[in-house]
Chain A
Amino acid sequence: MMAASNEVNLNESKMVVPLNTWVLISNFKLAYNLLRRPDGTFNRHLAEFLDRKVPANTKPVLGVFSFDVIIDRSTSLLSRIYRPADGEQPQLNIADLEKPVTAEVVPVIIFFHGGSFAHSSANSAIYDTLCRRLVSICKVVVVSVNYRRAPENRYPCAYDDGWAALNWVNSSSWLQSKDSKVHIYLAGDSSGGNIVHHVALRAVESDIEVLGNILLNPMFGGQERTESEKRLDGKYFVTIQDRDWYWRAFLPEGEDRDHPACNPFGPKGNFLEGIKFPKSLVVVASLDLIQDRQLAYVKGLEKAGQKVKLLYLEQATIGFYLLPNNNHFYTVMDEISNFVGSDC
């Protein structure tokens, strides 16, 4: 039965995305299948072998240059910084890399790449490219965090790394806008979106101000199977089974999917009433099987009186933002620009 319904499914997904997008995401899907073992272990070596990575580059390409910084030696935490190049510099010297930003207001986006907590890195080509596009289009500085991944590093490692990065950014004087503050936004796709929420939550208790959260197809879940999961299971590159695997790999052993990391406003979650939580931009793709969870997240923020804008994209699948060959990509980029540009 599975094989037959898959035939239909494969054709369906092919209809809604450009062919090269379909090829890209299907490739990931199949490669990722090879990496997840039924016993919960992960073929990390093969994952690293297959992942296409790119080096940082202090020579500006299309107006953007990048360099890597070791933020925390004890965890080998690295981040890749992307900055717009000013003027005609053919190349930046090591001494220029952390030169103070010059504009009046410089939004700094701390970016958490996706990969369901297990895949990809800050230097994965898909994410390096996305971050560069963010800089070009939205005129921001991007700090892409190479957080520790599951299953080798479970909850809360990724959040800890996000928190370390937030602190580092906040205390980097060269990133301060003219008001001597760093204007920080958190952004992420898939598991990165989940990390955004949890790092922002941690920031609430501190004196670090996060100006906004951007969640792109964020990864949330819960014990109960929602309608969208049942309806879209296996149809657009993603299955309930693989989602379950990743949660089992990330969450502490023995925990179920109502753990607040997975289900922040669920039965074991915390509601955010009365706390100063950043405004949120949440992008949901209508063909993402976990959209019910994402919509519930938005509702949860609304119910707690928090500012949230939902961008619901019809006929969009996971990964639509990896290639700039569709309207949704540009829509999202515009929204992000406005979101970080409209500071009160």
Chain B
Amino acid sequence: MNKRNHQDTSGGGDYGGLQGNVGKSDSSSMSSGKAKMWEEEQDAGTGVDDELLAVLGYKVKSSEMEDVADKLEQLGMVMDAAPNLFCDTVHYNPSDLYGWVQSMLSELNNPPNTILDPMLQGQQIDDPLLAPAEFSSVPTLGFLNSQQQRQIDTTQSSRIYNDDSEYDLRAIPGSAAYPQTQDRESNRKRLKTSSGSNSAPPLLPSSPQAAGGAAAGTVSDSSRPIVLADSQETGVRLVHTLMACAEAVQQENLKIADALVKQVHLLAASLAGAMKKVATYFAKALARRIYRIYPQDCLDASYSDILQMHFYETCPYLKFAHFTANQAILEAFATASRVHVIDFGLKQGMQWPALIQALALRPGGPPAFRLTGIGPPQPDNKDALQQVGWKLAELAETIGVEFQFRGFVTNSLADIDPSMLDIRPPEEEAVAVNSVFELHPLLARPGAIEKVLLSIKAMKPKIVAVVEQEANHNGPVFMDRFTEALHYYSSLFDSLEGSTLVPPTQDLIMSEAYLGRQICNVVASEGADRVERHETLTQWRTRMGSAGFEPVHLGSNAFRQASMLLALFAGGDGYRVDENDGCLMLGWHTRPLIATSAWQLITTDSS
């Protein structure tokens, strides 16, 4: 037992003479002729990805392995010689090893522009060990307190900071966003941004999915991630009972289903916390389905907006959605002098103050900003859209951004024709289309999503920012939808629980109601009424790809800022930002819950 156990493997076949060996890949597949450079067109099929690396999250074609190795070697030498060279680099798509290494090597020839931003406090915020400081003391626009002035003075002489299109997270507003009465004035926060130093992100071809469900970096439809928070005996029985009830509903054993619903309520009564609430909402939804009580009480649009606002305040999901979408839009608008954002769901316009402020601080000055806000009809013919537009206009005026607003009332995005939106040609004005949770309802009407995607194309957008729930709640089989939704909302409620103050605030209760309505819709509705037809990023990628869009990758700077936003606004420790093939996802622990992706029209010419 104590003897040295020598393993002589120097002659072992697997190690010796392995230049060019790429593990278990079938060598015959490497013999295909054309060697494509990574910048060229996107169709796959030349060279097979190394399987062993693919499972680990890295897409490297077997035929490129030697090349990648050479470049890594080069990069290694450069890094040894100049260790700080890449500390301001913005990274994109780490799964594409070749691209990742290549872009760093390219930076040697084209160093990013470095522009000192007099208002930055980047040195402070950049340090992850420092607690996010000073966001409580806030000056009104135009004044800096002495501490900030000192920071600026030291920073101007410190190292050059050239992070790409960053803007001050402290500007993420709650209802404090809008120019308000006196007491709100003092809450307005100072904004900063820095130059769009790097050129526009490299437009990487959409990479083909790595083979197999186990490939890293993709939450494919064939995987179901679960985070268990509750191992209590009652928790397990509760879930069992819920599933059995759903099963009974699917099989139309309504008497049994009814009995089981009552059982669920009984079991839930002895629980506390997230599981109790989730179970209760699901039980109620099942009851509705059993008794065919649908559609649910029609909420007028303004009330559902209110629920969403509370959800916005309580947890970081919507803030993350707005923030990451704005990042993509900002980057796309970096050099435009006139911009037009088409917001598919204006609601209270919470997303836009931050964008307006960021545009205001663009080096070289803000572009002229047009916003078209789309929304559903209001009761009493109130013009809610216009009201939001006015508030935003006031804000824009205060900050000095030329602003125009137009509201568009419609019951469905599919009813909008691009010609109605006064789209100007791309040379004149850069267009961004913004959709936060507005695409999935279109799946309830046949043909609607296709129509809308066509419309978007006709708008010739520079960028399309899409945020959607990361879940498949649109499968054809009821049980599958039910199970998926149960897992999804369990995680979501758990995250709210994590961030809650005791006693629960009004915000929290409303947020739960907001989510409860979604649960009800997923479980109890059908047909055109079932609008919460969430689909996963993988599914949206396929749709967008088929419709003629290609991904625009969000990079490490957006990731970092989103992470910092979480640190600022998220109550619980469990929130995580994940990079997934150029998209960003926000999740609770290891369960991704929403995903932000950015798109552009497929470019047909090589640039």
Contact = CB atoms under 8 A, between A and B. Distances in A.
Interface string A82-101: 00000000010111011000
A30 B72 contact: yes
A308 B226 contact: no
Contact of B69 (A14, A129, A307): A14
Given A45-B128, A55-B591, A57-B224, A326 B12 contact: yes
B95 interface: yes
A325 B14 CA distance: 7
B293 interface: no
A45 B225 CA distance: 23
A315 interface: yes
A23 interface: yes
Interface residues of B, number: 91
A309 B213 CA distance: 37
Contact of B72 (A27, A57, A312): A27
A331 interface: yes
B535 interface: no
B34 interface: no
Interface residues of A, number: 84
A125 interface: yes
A176 interface: no
Contact of A20 (B2, B22, B576): B22
Interface in A313-334: 313-316, 322-328, 331
Interface in A117-150: 123, 125-126, 128-129, 132
A328 B8 CA distance: 10
A34 B91 CA distance: 11
Given A24-B58, A94-B228, A129-B55, A55 B592 contact: yes
A279 B560 CA distance: 44
A54 B592 CA distance: 11
B228 A69 contact: yes
B323 interface: no
Interface string A54-98: 111111011000011110010010101000000000010111011
Interface in A169-213: 172
B330 to A, nearest CB: 18
A93 B243 contact: yes
B167 to A, nearest CB: 16
Interface string B54-91: 01111010000110110011011101110100110101
B94 interface: yes
A53 interface: yes
Contacts of B224: 57-59, 91
B21 interface: yes
A93 B77 contact: no
A304 interface: no
A23 B65 contact: yes
B23 interface: yes
A123 B68 CA distance: 26
B145 interface: no
B419 interface: no
A102 interface: no
A43 B128 contact: yes
Interface in B546-586: 556, 559-560, 563-564, 572-574, 576-579
Given A18-B18, A50-B94, A93 B483 contact: yes
Interface in A4-43: 6-7, 10, 14, 16-24, 26-27, 29-31, 33-34, 38, 41-43
Contacts of B572: 76
Contact of B589 (A58, A59, A68): A68
Give the most central of B21, B94, B95, B224: most A CB within 10 Å. B224
A44 interface: yes
A20 B50 contact: yes
A325 B23 contact: yes
B213 A59 contact: yes
A240 interface: no
Interface stretch (B214-222, B249-257, B380-388, B511-519): B214-222
Contact of A49 (B23, B83, B86, B91): B91
Nearest to B14: A326
Given A48-B577, A78-B590, A326-B15, 20 more contacts: A19-B20, A20-B23, A30-B72, A49-B556, A49-B559, A52-B58, A58-B224, A68-B226, A69-B227, A76-B572, A76-B573, A94-B243, A95-B236, A98-B231, A172-B231, A310-B5, A313-B7, A314-B9, A315-B15, A325-B21
5 contacts: A23-B65, A33-B83, A48-B576, A54-B57, A326-B9
